[in-house]
Amino acid sequence: MLAVYASDPAASRGRRFAQPPAPGRTEYQRDRDRIVHCSAFRRLVYKTQVFLNHEGDLFRTRLTHSLEVAQLGRSIARSLGLNEDLVEAIALAHDLGHTPFGHAGQDALNECMAPFGGFEHNLQSLRVVDQLEERYPQFDGLNLTFETREGILKHCSRVHAEELEAGEPGGVGQRFLQDGQPSLEAQLCNLADEIAYNAHDIDDGVRSGLITLEQLQQVALFDDFKRQALAEFAHLQEPAAGRRLLYDSIRRMLSAQVEDVIGATLGALKKAAPHSANEVRQMPPLVQFGEDMKLKSQGLKHFLLHQLYRHPKVLHTTGQARRVLRSLFDAYLAHPREMQPRFVARFEALHAASDGSRGAARVIADYIAGMTDRFATREHERLMKLDLLVEPSRSMAVEAT
Ligand code: MG
């Protein structure tokens, strides 16, 4: 049963290229199906979340992360009367634009692209579903509904929002220019993303040995639930039960966050009383944690930032990853024909145009962003053997002038 403020597929703002309805499926189910079948989705399995893909088989990848976001999102959506299919579609697509090597890859590509308009991963996820997937005879991309595309574009800089608005007036760029909000389903995906990575990064962090259960005593959100688990099951004290203690604490933490979001959001909805999905877009964000949980979640994020994401061992591998991406970018800029043929064709067509270097550099960014960790590593080795890796600073300076 959908609430009045839920997104109704029958009232969708539709697709950029009109298509007849699919028998037996709503428009958002169809979006979800298109996402699951696209190539960018399959590549998520070999992309880093925090730990590089080859560091261990049990760490989260972008794919398992996206599945966890979808699971959390759907279960909250059901309690709030929101559209589960739309939540699932957005959750499964939200990281499609991520580069190899996680945030380090992103930062590196953004630096390389600084003279050519920069690189934003949310915008790249939209590029994947709007332009880069080549599966249909009639159009580029997956031709998803407005509501799914709106949810995928979680953040966007003003300059990119203006570009989007110019190409699609009143489209997905508009809310960044008018300070509007997306649908409740999209708001929910943002929070489900946060809940998912906070929990699984604790798990992966402890598994990797980079953080310990003792250190986690500093984190109120985790420690409260660890105490609860120990009070209920005394045998979890034993060192051999360490993993069960970790899992039980995380499970309790996840449930508490889910319940908190449901309670706080129902409270906010009651107060704001939106009468339609569209009215929500003019209101402040409504999907939210309660005040106390918000602070505790920030405490956990702060801990993970300092103890895990900035751990010297993580910084060492991400530093290498950053160098790999920079040298790949520079090598393709100097030798574009080393890319796969369809990217070479796009590169050459754009390079001949008036604002050539900007568009052509974007083709390189698309190519690199689409790579898995292992493909990027192999390409780096291949180009090194061919002696095609150039000094990053030199080629950037030449191209930027
Ligand atoms: Mg995510």
Question: pLDDT tens, 171-228?
Answer: 999 999 999 999 999 999 999 999 999 999 999 999 888 999 999 999 999 999 999 9
Rounded to the nearest whole angstrom, what is the distance from the C-alpha of residue 260 to the centroid of ligand 1?
20
Q: Give pTM, 2 decimals.
A: 0.94
pLDDT digits (tens, 9 = 90+) for 299-357: 999 999 999 988 988 888 888 889 999 999 999 999 999 999 999 999 998 888 766 78
Instruction: Report the separation in Å between the CA atom of 193 and the middle of ligand 1, taken as the mean of its atom positions.
Output: 5
Residues 48 and 143 in one domain: yes
* 27 alpha carbon – ligand 1 mean position (Å): 23
- The residues, any chain, with a CB within 8 Å of residue 391's CB and separated by 6 or more, are 330
pLDDT of the residue at 357: 82
Mean pLDDT of 137-158: 96
216 and 94 inside one domain: no
Q: Is residue 52 very low, low, confident or very high in pLDDT (cuts 50, 70, 90)?
A: low
Per-residue pLDDT at 352: 81
Domain assignment present for 201: yes
Among 263, 283, 311, the domain boundary falls at 311
218 alpha carbon – ligand 1 mean position (Å)? 25
Write the CA distances from 349 to 285, 296, 339, 356, 358, integer angstroms. 42, 51, 14, 9, 12
In a domain, 18, yes or no: no
300, 198 in Cβ contact below 8 A?
Answer: yes
Domain range for 55: 23-178
Q: How far is the CA of 342 from the centre of ligand 1 (A)?
A: 28
φ and ψ at 145, to 5 degrees? -70, 160
Ligand 1 centroid from CA 70, angstroms? 10
76 C-alpha to center of ligand 1: Å? 17
Q: Are residues 275 and 319 in the same domain?
A: no
Q: What angle do CA 237, 238, 242 make, to 5 degrees?
A: 85
Share of the chain above pLDDT 70, in %: 95
For residue 145, give the 3-state DSSP assignment. strand
198 CA distance to ligand 1 middle (Å): 11
Q: How far apart are CA 382 and CA 304, in angstroms?
A: 35
User: What are the tens digits of pLDDT across the range 365-399?
Assistant: 999 999 999 999 999 999 999 999 875 544 444 33
Q: Output the CA 165–ligand 1 centroid distance in Å.
A: 25
For residue 136, the CA-to-ligand 1 centroid distance in Å is 27
pLDDT tens digit string along 233-258?
999 999 899 999 999 999 999 999 99
Report CA(335)–ligand 1 centroid distance (Å). 33
- pLDDT value for 395: 43
Q: How far is the CA of 135 from the centre of ligand 1 (A)?
A: 25
Mark which of 257, 283, 311 sits at the end of a domain.
Answer: 311
Q: How far is the CA of 302 from the centre of ligand 1 (A)?
A: 17
Tell me, in angstroms, the distance from the centre of ligand 1 to residue 87's CA: 13
Q: Is residue 98 in some structural domain?
A: yes
The rounded Å distance from CA 95 to ligand 1 centre is 6
At 74 the pLDDT is 98
In a domain, 76, yes or no: yes
In this model, does residue 232 exceed pLDDT 80? yes
- Which of 144, 178, 212 marks a domain boundary? 178
> Are residues 35 and 170 part of one domain?
yes
